[in-house]
Amino acid sequence: MGKQTKRRSSAPSPHRYPREVRLSQSLRQVIAEELVEIDDETLDLVTITSIDVDPEMNHATVFFDSLRGEDGDPEILEGLARHRVRLQSAVARQIRSKKTPILDFRPDDVIRSAERIEKILRENPSPAVIADDTTD
- Which CATH number does the domain housing residue 42 bear? 3.30.300.20
Counted domains in the chain: 1
- Position 52 in a domain: yes
Higher pLDDT, 130 or 95: 95
- Position 101 in a domain: yes
- Position 99 in a domain: yes
Residue pLDDT, tens place only, 67-119: 888 889 999 999 999 999 999 999 999 987 788 899 999 999 888 888 888 88
Question: What residues make up the domain containing 88?
Answer: 19-108
Among 97, 79, 95, CA closest to 38 = 79
pLDDT tier at 18, thresholds 50, 70, 90: confident
DSSP for residue 100: -
Continuous segment of H or E residues that includes residue 50: strand 46-53
- Position 115 in a domain: no
Among 31, 88, 89, CA closest to 63 = 31
pTM: 0.73
Alpha-carbon distance values, 33 to 25, 90, 92, 105 (Å): 12, 10, 14, 16
